[in-house]
Structure 1
Amino acid sequence: MPAPARFLVVLDADSTLIRNEVIELLADEAGRGAEVAAATEAAMRGEVDFADSLRSRVAALAGVPIEAFARAIARIEPTPGVRTLIDAVHARGGLVGVVSGGFHEVLDTVAPDLGVDVWRANRLGVADGALTGEVDGPIVDAAAKADTLREWAAAHGVPSHLTFAIGDGANDLRMMEAAGLGLAFNAKPAVRAAADLVIGPVDLAAVVPLLPR
Protein backbone atom coordinates (compact mmCIF):
# COMPACT_ATOMS: atom_id res chain seq x y z
CA MET A 1 0.00 0.00 0.00
CA PRO A 2 1.46 3.42 -0.93
CA ALA A 3 2.59 5.56 1.97
CA PRO A 4 0.30 8.48 2.83
CA ALA A 5 1.41 12.02 2.01
CA ARG A 6 0.34 15.40 3.40
CA PHE A 7 -0.01 16.92 -0.06
CA LEU A 8 0.82 16.22 -3.70
CA VAL A 9 2.67 18.35 -6.26
CA VAL A 10 2.44 17.18 -9.88
CA LEU A 11 4.55 18.79 -12.58
CA ASP A 12 4.69 18.53 -16.32
CA ALA A 13 8.16 17.48 -17.52
CA ASP A 14 9.19 19.28 -20.70
CA SER A 15 9.63 23.05 -20.19
CA THR A 16 8.53 22.67 -16.56
CA LEU A 17 10.59 20.08 -14.64
CA ILE A 18 13.30 20.54 -17.25
CA ARG A 19 14.08 23.39 -19.63
CA ASN A 20 14.10 21.17 -22.72
CA GLU A 21 11.52 19.57 -25.00
CA VAL A 22 12.85 16.02 -25.21
CA ILE A 23 11.13 15.22 -28.50
CA GLU A 24 13.06 18.11 -30.07
CA LEU A 25 16.36 16.72 -28.76
CA LEU A 26 15.53 13.35 -30.31
CA ALA A 27 14.37 14.97 -33.56
CA ASP A 28 17.76 16.68 -33.83
CA GLU A 29 19.18 13.17 -34.29
CA ALA A 30 17.04 12.80 -37.40
CA GLY A 31 17.85 16.26 -38.71
CA ARG A 32 14.25 17.33 -38.14
CA GLY A 33 14.59 19.41 -34.97
CA ALA A 34 13.22 22.69 -36.36
CA GLU A 35 10.20 20.99 -37.96
CA VAL A 36 9.31 19.13 -34.77
CA ALA A 37 9.90 22.23 -32.60
CA ALA A 38 7.33 24.16 -34.64
CA ALA A 39 4.80 21.34 -34.28
CA THR A 40 5.44 21.11 -30.53
CA GLU A 41 4.87 24.84 -30.11
CA ALA A 42 1.52 24.60 -31.92
CA ALA A 43 0.46 21.69 -29.70
CA MET A 44 1.42 23.52 -26.51
CA ARG A 45 -0.61 26.55 -27.61
CA GLY A 46 -3.61 24.25 -28.04
CA GLU A 47 -3.90 24.85 -31.78
CA VAL A 48 -3.92 21.14 -32.68
CA ASP A 49 -5.03 17.92 -30.99
CA PHE A 50 -2.21 16.77 -28.72
CA ALA A 51 -2.44 13.04 -29.47
CA ASP A 52 -2.56 13.57 -33.24
CA SER A 53 0.35 16.01 -33.02
CA LEU A 54 2.40 13.63 -30.90
CA ARG A 55 1.91 10.76 -33.35
CA SER A 56 3.03 12.92 -36.26
CA ARG A 57 6.06 14.21 -34.37
CA VAL A 58 7.04 10.72 -33.23
CA ALA A 59 6.78 9.54 -36.84
CA ALA A 60 9.62 11.96 -37.59
CA LEU A 61 11.82 9.95 -35.22
CA ALA A 62 11.62 6.71 -37.22
CA GLY A 63 15.08 5.19 -37.61
CA VAL A 64 16.73 7.17 -34.80
CA PRO A 65 19.03 4.74 -32.93
CA ILE A 66 18.25 4.07 -29.28
CA GLU A 67 21.70 5.46 -28.38
CA ALA A 68 20.06 8.84 -28.94
CA PHE A 69 18.39 8.54 -25.52
CA ALA A 70 21.73 8.83 -23.74
CA ARG A 71 22.70 11.83 -25.88
CA ALA A 72 19.37 13.49 -25.13
CA ILE A 73 19.75 12.87 -21.40
CA ALA A 74 23.22 14.44 -21.50
CA ARG A 75 21.67 17.64 -22.90
CA ILE A 76 18.89 17.90 -20.29
CA GLU A 77 18.89 21.09 -18.21
CA PRO A 78 16.88 20.93 -14.98
CA THR A 79 14.72 24.00 -14.48
CA PRO A 80 16.16 26.52 -12.00
CA GLY A 81 14.81 25.90 -8.51
CA VAL A 82 13.58 22.38 -9.21
CA ARG A 83 15.73 20.73 -6.54
CA THR A 84 14.80 23.43 -4.03
CA LEU A 85 11.11 22.79 -4.68
CA ILE A 86 11.40 19.01 -4.48
CA ASP A 87 13.44 19.19 -1.27
CA ALA A 88 10.85 21.54 0.26
CA VAL A 89 7.97 19.24 -0.67
CA HIS A 90 9.71 16.28 0.93
CA ALA A 91 10.68 18.27 4.04
CA ARG A 92 7.02 19.14 4.57
CA GLY A 93 5.75 15.58 4.10
CA GLY A 94 4.57 15.94 0.51
CA LEU A 95 4.91 13.81 -2.61
CA VAL A 96 6.27 14.91 -6.00
CA GLY A 97 4.89 13.44 -9.20
CA VAL A 98 5.63 14.12 -12.86
CA VAL A 99 3.17 13.28 -15.62
CA SER A 100 4.40 13.95 -19.11
CA GLY A 101 3.45 13.83 -22.75
CA GLY A 102 7.14 13.05 -23.21
CA PHE A 103 8.88 9.72 -22.86
CA HIS A 104 9.71 7.17 -20.17
CA GLU A 105 12.96 6.36 -21.95
CA VAL A 106 14.35 9.72 -20.79
CA LEU A 107 12.21 10.42 -17.72
CA ASP A 108 13.19 7.10 -16.11
CA THR A 109 16.69 8.55 -15.67
CA VAL A 110 15.91 12.24 -15.14
CA ALA A 111 13.05 11.88 -12.62
CA PRO A 112 14.84 9.81 -9.96
CA ASP A 113 17.99 11.88 -10.37
CA LEU A 114 15.94 14.96 -9.39
CA GLY A 115 14.21 13.21 -6.47
CA VAL A 116 10.78 12.75 -8.08
CA ASP A 117 8.68 10.11 -6.30
CA VAL A 118 6.33 8.92 -9.06
CA TRP A 119 6.15 9.58 -12.80
CA ARG A 120 4.24 8.62 -15.91
CA ALA A 121 4.98 9.27 -19.59
CA ASN A 122 4.64 7.82 -23.07
CA ARG A 123 6.78 5.02 -24.42
CA LEU A 124 8.38 4.89 -27.85
CA GLY A 125 8.25 1.88 -30.12
CA VAL A 126 11.66 0.25 -30.70
CA ALA A 127 12.71 -2.48 -33.13
CA ASP A 128 16.19 -3.62 -34.14
CA GLY A 129 17.88 -0.97 -32.01
CA ALA A 130 16.04 2.00 -33.51
CA LEU A 131 12.82 3.93 -33.02
CA THR A 132 9.89 2.74 -35.12
CA GLY A 133 8.23 6.14 -35.33
CA GLU A 134 5.25 4.97 -33.27
CA VAL A 135 4.06 5.45 -29.69
CA ASP A 136 3.95 2.18 -27.77
CA GLY A 137 0.70 2.02 -25.77
CA PRO A 138 -1.91 4.61 -24.79
CA ILE A 139 -0.90 8.25 -25.19
CA VAL A 140 -0.56 10.39 -22.08
CA ASP A 141 -2.76 13.31 -23.13
CA ALA A 142 -4.62 16.01 -21.20
CA ALA A 143 -7.26 13.60 -19.87
CA ALA A 144 -4.63 11.09 -18.79
CA LYS A 145 -2.72 13.80 -16.95
CA ALA A 146 -5.80 14.80 -14.95
CA ASP A 147 -6.67 11.15 -14.24
CA THR A 148 -3.12 10.47 -13.06
CA LEU A 149 -3.18 13.36 -10.60
CA ARG A 150 -6.45 12.04 -9.15
CA GLU A 151 -5.12 8.46 -9.01
CA TRP A 152 -1.94 9.45 -7.19
CA ALA A 153 -3.87 11.62 -4.73
CA ALA A 154 -6.29 8.79 -3.95
CA ALA A 155 -3.49 6.23 -3.62
CA HIS A 156 -1.63 8.39 -1.09
CA GLY A 157 -4.64 9.68 0.83
CA VAL A 158 -4.26 13.29 -0.31
CA PRO A 159 -7.49 15.34 -0.41
CA SER A 160 -8.09 17.17 -3.68
CA HIS A 161 -7.68 20.62 -2.12
CA LEU A 162 -4.10 19.68 -1.18
CA THR A 163 -3.05 18.84 -4.73
CA PHE A 164 -0.97 21.20 -6.87
CA ALA A 165 -0.48 21.00 -10.64
CA ILE A 166 2.28 22.91 -12.43
CA GLY A 167 2.39 23.12 -16.22
CA ASP A 168 3.10 25.22 -19.28
CA GLY A 169 1.05 23.89 -22.19
CA ALA A 170 -2.54 23.39 -23.27
CA ASN A 171 -2.35 19.67 -22.48
CA ASP A 172 -1.78 20.60 -18.82
CA LEU A 173 -5.06 22.50 -18.46
CA ARG A 174 -7.25 19.58 -17.40
CA MET A 175 -4.67 18.50 -14.82
CA MET A 176 -4.57 22.06 -13.50
CA GLU A 177 -8.37 22.16 -13.31
CA ALA A 178 -8.40 18.86 -11.38
CA ALA A 179 -5.91 20.14 -8.80
CA GLY A 180 -6.66 22.19 -5.74
CA LEU A 181 -4.28 24.81 -7.13
CA GLY A 182 -3.30 25.04 -10.80
CA LEU A 183 -0.07 26.93 -11.45
CA ALA A 184 1.01 28.25 -14.85
CA PHE A 185 4.78 28.11 -15.14
CA ASN A 186 6.79 29.26 -18.15
CA ALA A 187 3.39 29.01 -19.78
CA LYS A 188 1.59 29.78 -23.01
CA PRO A 189 -1.01 32.63 -22.93
CA ALA A 190 -4.05 30.32 -22.81
CA VAL A 191 -2.56 28.49 -19.83
CA ARG A 192 -1.74 31.69 -17.97
CA ALA A 193 -5.29 32.88 -18.55
CA ALA A 194 -6.84 29.71 -17.15
CA ALA A 195 -4.51 29.12 -14.18
CA ASP A 196 -5.31 29.86 -10.55
CA LEU A 197 -1.91 31.53 -10.25
CA VAL A 198 0.87 32.43 -12.65
CA ILE A 199 4.49 31.94 -11.56
CA GLY A 200 6.40 34.86 -13.08
CA PRO A 201 10.09 33.94 -12.85
CA VAL A 202 11.36 30.76 -14.52
CA ASP A 203 12.36 29.49 -11.09
CA LEU A 204 10.45 26.67 -9.44
CA ALA A 205 11.64 27.80 -6.02
CA ALA A 206 8.94 30.48 -6.35
CA VAL A 207 6.37 27.73 -5.68
CA VAL A 208 7.77 26.93 -2.23
CA PRO A 209 5.90 29.70 -0.34
CA LEU A 210 2.60 28.26 -1.64
CA LEU A 211 3.17 24.83 -0.06
CA PRO A 212 1.56 23.75 3.20
CA ARG A 213 3.79 24.44 6.18
Structure 2
Amino acid sequence: MKQDLVLQTKIGREYVLEKFLKSIGKKGKIKEPCSVRLSGMNREEFEKLWREKAQALQIDVCWVDPHMKLTDFRLFATDMDSTFLNLETLDEMAAFVGKGDEVSRITELTMQGKIRNYAESLTARVKLMAGVDASVVDRLIKFHIKPNPGAESLVSALKKAGIPMLLVSGGFSCVTNVVKERYGFTHVISNELEIKDGKLTGRVTGPFGTPIIDGRGKISYVSAYALQHGIELNELITMGDGSNDIPMLEAAGLSIAWHAKPAVRPHAKYAFDFAPLSGLLALFNQ
Protein backbone atom coordinates (compact mmCIF):
# COMPACT_ATOMS: atom_id res chain seq x y z
CA MET A 1 0.00 0.00 0.00
CA LYS A 2 1.21 3.48 -0.88
CA GLN A 3 1.76 5.63 2.18
CA ASP A 4 1.76 9.37 2.73
CA LEU A 5 4.76 11.03 4.31
CA VAL A 6 3.98 13.32 7.26
CA LEU A 7 6.75 15.68 8.35
CA GLN A 8 6.44 17.60 11.62
CA THR A 9 8.47 19.81 13.88
CA LYS A 10 8.00 22.11 16.85
CA ILE A 11 5.24 24.71 16.81
CA GLY A 12 6.41 27.95 15.22
CA ARG A 13 9.17 26.40 13.10
CA GLU A 14 7.36 26.46 9.75
CA TYR A 15 10.47 27.95 8.17
CA VAL A 16 12.33 24.71 8.92
CA LEU A 17 9.77 22.64 7.03
CA GLU A 18 9.86 25.13 4.15
CA LYS A 19 13.64 24.87 4.00
CA PHE A 20 13.54 21.09 4.04
CA LEU A 21 10.83 20.88 1.36
CA LYS A 22 12.90 23.13 -0.89
CA SER A 23 15.99 20.97 -0.35
CA ILE A 24 14.17 17.82 -1.49
CA GLY A 25 12.43 19.57 -4.37
CA LYS A 26 8.89 19.24 -3.05
CA LYS A 27 6.02 21.57 -2.34
CA GLY A 28 3.33 21.14 0.26
CA LYS A 29 0.89 23.08 2.40
CA ILE A 30 2.13 23.52 5.95
CA LYS A 31 -0.73 23.04 8.40
CA GLU A 32 -1.21 23.40 12.14
CA PRO A 33 0.38 22.57 14.44
CA CYS A 34 3.49 22.54 12.20
CA SER A 35 3.27 19.73 9.67
CA VAL A 36 3.11 18.89 6.00
CA ARG A 37 1.74 15.81 4.21
CA LEU A 38 3.31 14.55 0.99
CA SER A 39 1.76 11.92 -1.27
CA GLY A 40 3.44 9.74 -3.86
CA MET A 41 6.85 9.77 -2.19
CA ASN A 42 9.39 7.02 -2.83
CA ARG A 43 9.93 5.70 0.68
CA GLU A 44 13.16 3.83 -0.02
CA GLU A 45 14.69 6.86 -1.72
CA PHE A 46 13.60 9.25 1.03
CA GLU A 47 14.92 7.05 3.82
CA LYS A 48 18.26 6.69 2.05
CA LEU A 49 18.77 10.31 1.02
CA TRP A 50 16.80 12.52 3.41
CA ARG A 51 15.97 10.82 6.73
CA GLU A 52 19.20 11.88 8.44
CA LYS A 53 18.88 15.47 7.24
CA ALA A 54 15.31 15.62 8.54
CA GLN A 55 16.51 14.38 11.93
CA ALA A 56 19.28 16.97 11.98
CA LEU A 57 16.70 19.70 11.35
CA GLN A 58 14.52 18.35 14.18
CA ILE A 59 11.81 17.07 11.86
CA ASP A 60 9.81 13.95 12.72
CA VAL A 61 9.20 11.53 9.84
CA CYS A 62 6.05 9.37 9.79
CA TRP A 63 4.78 7.11 6.99
CA VAL A 64 1.01 6.79 7.32
CA ASP A 65 -1.99 5.17 5.72
CA PRO A 66 -3.45 7.91 3.48
CA HIS A 67 -6.98 6.85 4.44
CA MET A 68 -6.49 6.78 8.24
CA LYS A 69 -8.94 9.04 10.09
CA LEU A 70 -9.33 10.02 13.73
CA THR A 71 -12.84 8.57 13.66
CA ASP A 72 -11.31 5.13 12.99
CA PHE A 73 -10.45 5.14 16.70
CA ARG A 74 -12.74 5.04 19.73
CA LEU A 75 -10.48 5.40 22.77
CA PHE A 76 -7.44 7.48 23.75
CA ALA A 77 -5.10 6.78 26.67
CA THR A 78 -2.05 8.79 27.68
CA ASP A 79 0.63 8.77 30.32
CA MET A 80 0.83 11.93 32.44
CA ASP A 81 4.35 12.77 33.61
CA SER A 82 6.62 13.98 30.78
CA THR A 83 3.91 13.13 28.25
CA PHE A 84 0.74 15.10 28.89
CA LEU A 85 2.51 17.24 31.51
CA ASN A 86 5.92 18.80 31.01
CA LEU A 87 7.41 17.49 34.27
CA GLU A 88 7.88 14.45 36.48
CA THR A 89 5.67 15.31 39.43
CA LEU A 90 7.57 13.32 42.07
CA ASP A 91 10.91 14.72 40.88
CA GLU A 92 9.48 18.23 41.11
CA MET A 93 8.18 17.73 44.65
CA ALA A 94 11.50 16.25 45.69
CA ALA A 95 13.34 19.26 44.29
CA PHE A 96 11.26 21.55 46.52
CA VAL A 97 12.71 19.89 49.60
CA GLY A 98 16.29 19.32 48.48
CA LYS A 99 15.88 15.68 47.50
CA GLY A 100 15.68 16.24 43.76
CA ASP A 101 18.96 14.66 42.72
CA GLU A 102 18.33 11.47 44.68
CA VAL A 103 14.83 10.98 43.34
CA SER A 104 15.40 12.08 39.73
CA ARG A 105 18.37 9.72 39.40
CA ILE A 106 16.12 6.74 40.16
CA THR A 107 13.36 8.15 37.92
CA GLU A 108 15.68 8.45 34.93
CA LEU A 109 17.03 4.92 35.31
CA THR A 110 13.47 3.62 35.58
CA MET A 111 12.14 5.47 32.52
CA GLN A 112 15.13 4.25 30.51
CA GLY A 113 14.26 0.69 31.53
CA LYS A 114 17.54 0.17 33.39
CA ILE A 115 15.55 -0.40 36.59
CA ARG A 116 12.92 -2.83 35.36
CA ASN A 117 10.68 -3.17 38.38
CA TYR A 118 8.63 0.02 38.36
CA ALA A 119 6.87 -0.73 41.66
CA GLU A 120 10.16 -1.17 43.49
CA SER A 121 11.53 1.99 41.91
CA LEU A 122 8.50 4.07 42.88
CA THR A 123 8.52 2.66 46.40
CA ALA A 124 12.20 3.60 46.80
CA ARG A 125 11.65 7.14 45.50
CA VAL A 126 8.61 7.81 47.68
CA LYS A 127 10.42 6.43 50.73
CA LEU A 128 12.99 9.23 50.31
CA MET A 129 10.11 11.69 50.84
CA ALA A 130 9.06 10.34 54.25
CA GLY A 131 8.35 13.14 56.72
CA VAL A 132 8.07 15.87 54.08
CA ASP A 133 5.23 18.35 54.65
CA ALA A 134 2.23 17.54 52.43
CA SER A 135 2.08 21.19 51.35
CA VAL A 136 4.56 20.23 48.60
CA VAL A 137 1.61 18.68 46.78
CA ASP A 138 -0.41 21.91 46.98
CA ARG A 139 2.61 23.91 45.79
CA LEU A 140 3.06 21.60 42.81
CA ILE A 141 -0.59 21.85 41.81
CA LYS A 142 -0.81 25.62 42.27
CA PHE A 143 2.33 26.67 40.44
CA HIS A 144 3.77 23.87 38.35
CA ILE A 145 1.04 21.89 36.59
CA LYS A 146 1.48 22.76 32.93
CA PRO A 147 0.68 20.60 29.91
CA ASN A 148 3.11 20.03 27.07
CA PRO A 149 2.66 22.02 23.84
CA GLY A 150 -0.40 21.07 21.82
CA ALA A 151 -2.31 19.53 24.73
CA GLU A 152 -5.31 21.84 24.48
CA SER A 153 -5.69 21.33 20.71
CA LEU A 154 -5.43 17.58 21.08
CA VAL A 155 -8.00 17.45 23.87
CA SER A 156 -10.36 19.67 21.90
CA ALA A 157 -10.17 17.44 18.82
CA LEU A 158 -10.72 14.26 20.82
CA LYS A 159 -13.74 15.76 22.58
CA LYS A 160 -15.18 16.95 19.27
CA ALA A 161 -14.78 13.42 17.87
CA GLY A 162 -16.49 11.97 20.97
CA ILE A 163 -13.48 9.85 21.89
CA PRO A 164 -13.15 9.03 25.63
CA MET A 165 -9.82 10.08 27.17
CA LEU A 166 -8.06 8.04 29.83
CA LEU A 167 -5.24 9.47 31.96
CA VAL A 168 -3.16 6.43 32.85
CA SER A 169 -0.36 7.27 35.26
CA GLY A 170 2.14 5.73 37.61
CA GLY A 171 1.91 9.03 39.48
CA PHE A 172 -0.46 10.04 42.24
CA SER A 173 -4.20 10.64 42.44
CA CYS A 174 -3.72 13.96 44.27
CA VAL A 175 -2.30 15.25 40.98
CA THR A 176 -4.07 13.15 38.36
CA ASN A 177 -7.52 14.09 39.69
CA VAL A 178 -6.67 17.78 39.26
CA VAL A 179 -5.44 17.18 35.69
CA LYS A 180 -8.58 15.16 34.97
CA GLU A 181 -10.83 18.02 36.01
CA ARG A 182 -8.80 20.77 34.34
CA TYR A 183 -8.61 19.07 30.95
CA GLY A 184 -11.74 16.96 30.88
CA PHE A 185 -10.40 13.42 30.92
CA THR A 186 -13.10 10.78 31.05
CA HIS A 187 -11.38 8.55 33.62
CA VAL A 188 -8.08 8.34 35.45
CA ILE A 189 -6.04 5.55 37.02
CA SER A 190 -3.02 6.26 39.23
CA ASN A 191 -1.34 5.46 42.52
CA GLU A 192 -2.06 6.74 46.03
CA LEU A 193 0.49 8.81 47.95
CA GLU A 194 -0.08 8.20 51.64
CA ILE A 195 -0.43 11.30 53.80
CA LYS A 196 -0.96 11.30 57.58
CA ASP A 197 -1.00 14.21 60.01
CA GLY A 198 -0.05 16.59 57.21
CA LYS A 199 3.10 14.67 56.26
CA LEU A 200 4.10 12.24 53.54
CA THR A 201 4.60 8.87 55.18
CA GLY A 202 6.97 7.59 52.51
CA ARG A 203 4.48 4.91 51.44
CA VAL A 204 2.61 4.45 48.16
CA THR A 205 0.01 1.95 46.96
CA GLY A 206 -2.21 1.41 43.98
CA PRO A 207 -5.87 2.54 44.05
CA PHE A 208 -7.63 1.57 47.29
CA GLY A 209 -4.56 -0.24 48.60
CA THR A 210 -4.13 -2.47 45.53
CA PRO A 211 -0.70 -3.17 43.98
CA ILE A 212 1.13 -0.20 42.50
CA ILE A 213 0.11 0.74 38.96
CA ASP A 214 3.02 -0.19 36.69
CA GLY A 215 3.19 -1.01 32.99
CA ARG A 216 1.07 -4.12 33.35
CA GLY A 217 -1.39 -2.22 35.51
CA LYS A 218 -1.76 0.47 32.87
CA ILE A 219 -2.61 -1.88 30.02
CA SER A 220 -4.86 -3.98 32.30
CA TYR A 221 -6.90 -0.89 33.17
CA VAL A 222 -7.10 0.34 29.57
CA SER A 223 -8.03 -3.13 28.31
CA ALA A 224 -10.75 -3.48 30.95
CA TYR A 225 -12.22 -0.10 30.02
CA ALA A 226 -12.15 -1.02 26.33
CA LEU A 227 -13.81 -4.39 26.95
CA GLN A 228 -16.51 -2.81 29.11
CA HIS A 229 -17.37 -0.37 26.32
CA GLY A 230 -17.12 -2.78 23.39
CA ILE A 231 -13.92 -1.23 22.03
CA GLU A 232 -11.25 -3.31 20.28
CA LEU A 233 -7.60 -2.59 21.07
CA ASN A 234 -7.01 -1.81 17.39
CA GLU A 235 -9.38 1.14 17.96
CA LEU A 236 -7.15 2.45 20.78
CA ILE A 237 -4.65 5.31 20.59
CA THR A 238 -1.95 5.49 23.27
CA MET A 239 0.85 7.94 24.07
CA GLY A 240 3.73 7.61 26.51
CA ASP A 241 7.42 8.24 27.08
CA GLY A 242 8.72 5.73 29.63
CA SER A 243 9.36 2.02 29.96
CA ASN A 244 6.20 1.55 32.03
CA ASP A 245 4.21 2.73 29.00
CA ILE A 246 5.55 0.00 26.72
CA PRO A 247 2.73 -2.55 27.28
CA MET A 248 -0.01 -0.09 26.32
CA LEU A 249 2.04 1.26 23.39
CA GLU A 250 2.48 -2.24 22.03
CA ALA A 251 -1.19 -3.18 22.45
CA ALA A 252 -2.78 -0.18 20.72
CA GLY A 253 -3.87 0.13 17.12
CA LEU A 254 -2.03 3.47 17.01
CA SER A 255 0.66 4.46 19.49
CA ILE A 256 3.03 7.38 19.88
CA ALA A 257 6.32 7.28 21.77
CA TRP A 258 6.21 10.98 22.66
CA HIS A 259 9.67 12.54 23.22
CA ALA A 260 10.45 9.14 24.65
CA LYS A 261 13.50 7.35 25.95
CA PRO A 262 15.42 5.47 23.21
CA ALA A 263 14.44 2.07 24.59
CA VAL A 264 10.75 2.96 24.32
CA ARG A 265 10.57 4.15 20.69
CA PRO A 266 10.74 0.74 18.98
CA HIS A 267 7.62 -0.37 20.89
CA ALA A 268 5.34 2.31 19.40
CA LYS A 269 3.93 2.66 15.90
CA TYR A 270 5.39 6.19 15.68
CA ALA A 271 7.94 8.23 17.58
CA PHE A 272 7.60 11.99 17.98
CA ASP A 273 10.86 13.58 19.09
CA PHE A 274 9.93 17.15 18.16
CA ALA A 275 6.22 17.40 17.32
CA PRO A 276 3.75 18.69 19.94
CA LEU A 277 1.05 16.49 21.45
CA SER A 278 -1.37 17.79 18.81
CA GLY A 279 0.99 16.38 16.20
CA LEU A 280 -1.04 13.21 16.58
CA LEU A 281 -3.79 14.92 14.58
CA ALA A 282 -1.50 15.45 11.58
CA LEU A 283 -1.37 11.68 11.06
CA PHE A 284 -5.04 11.67 10.04
CA ASN A 285 -6.21 12.63 6.59
CA GLN A 286 -9.23 14.73 7.46
- Is the structural similarity TM-score above 0.5? yes
CA deviation string 1:63-106 (max 9, x = no partner): 11221111011212211111111110111121111110111011
TM-score by length of 1: 0.93
- What does residue 3 of structure 1 align with? none
Instruction: Point out the more displaced range, 201-210 or 41-50.
Output: 201-210
CA distance in 2 between partners of 1:106 and 1:68 (Å): 11
Work out the CA distance in 1 between the residues paired with 2:285 and 2:85.
24
Deviation at 1:111, TM superposition (A): 2.0
Q: Give the equivalent residue in structure 2 for 1:130.
A: 199
Aligned equivalents of 2:95 and 2:184: distance in 1? 28
Residue in 2 aligned with 1:26?
Answer: 93
- Find the aligned partners of 2:134 and 2:84 in 1 and give their Cα distance: 23
Looking at both structures, which has the greater relative contact order when contacts are Cα pairs under 8 Å and sequence separation is at least 6? 1
- C-alpha deviation, 1:193, in angstroms: 1.9
Contact 1:8 1:164 in 2 (8 A): yes
Partners of 2:146 and 2:214 in 1: how far apart?
A: 24
- Written as runs of structure 1 = structure 2, the 5 A alignment for 1:26-175 is 26-48=93-115, 49-73=117-141, 74-136=143-205, 137=209, 138-175=211-248
The worse-fitting range, judged by mean Cα deviation, of 170-179 and 203-212 is 203-212
TM-score by length of structure 2 reads 0.70
CA contact (8 A) 1:11 1:98 kept: yes
State the alpha-carbon separation in 2 of the partners of residues 148 and 212 from structure 1.
30
Q: For 1:11, which of 78, 83, 88 is the aligned residue?
A: 78
Matches of 2:189 and 2:119, distance apart in 1 = 16
Assess if the C-alpha contact under 8 Å between 1:29 and 1:64 holds in 2: no
State the AA in 1 paired with 2:264.
Answer: V
- Greater Cα shift, 80-89 or 203-212: 203-212
CA distance in 2, matches of 1:109, 1:52: 26
1: CA distance between counterparts of 2:215 and 2:176? 18
For 1:172 and 1:130, the matched residues in 2 are separated by 30
Look up the SS of the partner of 1:28 in the other structure: helix
Q: Is the 8 A contact 2:260 2:273 kept in 1?
A: no
Residue ranges of structure 2 left out of the alignment (5+ in a row): 1-72
CA distance, structure 1, for counterparts of residue 233 and residue 267 of structure 2: 18
Q: What is the deviation of 1:211?
A: 5.5
Deviations along 1:94-146, one digit per CA (max 9) or x if unpaired, are 11111101110111112210121111110011111111001132201010011
Secondary structure at 1:189 match in 2 = coil
Question: Which protein has the larger Cα radius of gyration, Structure 1 or Structure 2?
Answer: 2
- Alignment-derived partner of residue 205 in structure 1: 278
CA distance in 2, matches of 1:166, 1:135: 24
